[in-house]
């Protein structure tokens, strides 16, 4: 495997990529003796798209993957193609509807990152701003949790979160930061228009400089003494309130 390749594993992750971006798949390896309708669908689609298939007695997972369930299939793929912020903004200038962007500040857990990407795709997020540092890499674990959603949301690789948010503001975006202590809840603000939601990392949330760059901070009202939600859950709650407001405005 070269430095330009990455492994993804699991039936839904491999099948999702086969259906959406088969050109990114180098080859697919299946474990001998494993059979199911979904695995057969993977085999049929791979043959139809002329993607090389391998059949091995055991699948050898990368050392850093930890204890995972590969479900009898893995694929060697080209790393996710990212876009620059400048190119993204050029594309957004021609967008028919005001876009929703998502900026992730220091999300370290690959399972959280995968779940966030899946929620973002379901909510119609145009792009996710992901720092080159201070972030979980786009790995096979992320792809498996995202269940094919990595192919449905543009990933914008950025170097500096604060300067990137400033650039968005210069292009007319309102920046909303998710903060548990914010005095305004997500039900008290207007999410229509060009918006970017900033979600901080597990535990500490947004870094102070990133927080200070937000136009508004919003919280999720909670009861019974629960202080916070998992980052991926909180992201989904806020994103779908954005979706609800936009659907209401359009009706």
Residue spans of the domains in the chain: they are 5-78, 82-250
- CATH number for the segment(s) 5-78: 3.30.1330.30
Residue 197 has pLDDT above 80, yes or no: yes
Residue 82 has pLDDT above 80, yes or no: yes
pLDDT category, 53, cuts 50, 70, 90? very high
Calculate helix-pair angle for 11-20, 37-48, nearest 10 degrees.
Answer: 30
**pLDDT tens for each residue of 56-66:** 998 887 666 65
pLDDT category, 191, cuts 50, 70, 90? very high
CA dihedral of residues 125, 127, 132, 134 (deg, nearest 10): -20
CA triplet 226, 230, 231: central angle to 5 degrees?
A: 130
**pLDDT tens for each residue of 111-141:** 899 999 999 999 999 999 999 888 888 877 7
Residue 70 has pLDDT above 90, yes or no: no
Are 100 and 124 in contact by the 8 Å Cβ rule? The answer is yes
Residue 226 has pLDDT above 70, yes or no: no
CA triplet 83, 87, 89: central angle to 5 degrees?
A: 115
If DSSP states are collapsed to H, E and C, what string results for 197-210? EEEEECCCECCHHH
Q: Which residues, other chains included, contact 95 with Cβ-Cβ below 8 Å and sequence gap of 6+? A: 126
* pLDDT for residue 66: 59
pLDDT > 70 in the chain, percent? 94
Pick the CATH number of 82-250 from 3.40.1280.10, 3.40.50.11540, 3.40.50.1820, 3.30.43.10: 3.40.1280.10
């Amino acid at each position: 495997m070269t430095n330009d390749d990455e492994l993804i594993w699991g039936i839904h992750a491999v099948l999702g990529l086969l259906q959406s971006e088969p050109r990114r798949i180098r080859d697919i390896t299946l474990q001998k003796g494993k059979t199911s309708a979904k695995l057969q669908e993977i085999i049929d689609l791979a043959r139809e798209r002329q993607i090389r298939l391998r059949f091995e007695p055991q699948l050898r997972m990368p050392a850093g993957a930890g204890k995972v369930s590969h479900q009898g299939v893995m694929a060697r793929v080209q790393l996710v193609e990212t876009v620059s912020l400048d190119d993204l903004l050029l594309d957004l200038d021609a967008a028919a509807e005001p876009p929703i962007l998502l900026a992730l500040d220091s999300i370290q857990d690959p399972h959280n990152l995968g779940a966030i990407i899946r929620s973002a795709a379901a909510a119609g997020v145009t792009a996710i701003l992901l720092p080159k540092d201070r972030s979980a890499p786009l790995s096979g674990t992320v792809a498996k949790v995202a269940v094919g959603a990595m192919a449905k949301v543009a990933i914008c690789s950025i170097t500096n979160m604060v300067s990137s948010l400033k650039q968005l503001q210069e292009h007319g975006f309102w920046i909303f930061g998710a903060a548990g202590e914010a005095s305004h809840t997500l039900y008290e603000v207007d999410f229509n228009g060009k918006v970017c939601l900033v979600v901080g990392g597990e535990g500490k949330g947004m870094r102070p400089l990133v927080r200070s760059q937000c136009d508004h901070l919003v919280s999720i009202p909670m009861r019974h003494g629960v202080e916070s939600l998992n980052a991926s859950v909180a992201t989904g709650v806020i994103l779908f309130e954005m979706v609800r407001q936009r659907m209401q405005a359009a009706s």
